[in-house]
């Protein structure tokens, strides 16, 4: 959050938390999708 406050005109409050939440969710989704794409077929193959 400190980086967003430093690099953008956002002050601490609702909009800063909203932008932080969206960006964190997008990054987490982007990083975890490849793992899920490998995990799901392997689970199907072993019958879980």
Enter the pTM of the model.
0.56
Cα 45 to Cα 6, 31, 35, 38, 39: the distances in Å are: 48, 23, 16, 11, 10
Question: Tens of pLDDT along 1-48?
Answer: 566 677 777 778 788 888 889 999 999 999 888 887 888 888 888 887
| Helix and strand totals (H; E) in the chain | 2, 0
Domain boundaries, the chain: 2-46
């Amino acid at each position: 959050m400190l980086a967003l406050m430093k690099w953008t005109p956002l002050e601490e409050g609702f909009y800063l938390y909203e932008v932080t939440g969206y960006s964190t969710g997008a990054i987490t989704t982007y990083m975890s999708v490849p793992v899920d794409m490998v995990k799901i077929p392997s689970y199907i193959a072993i019958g879980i």
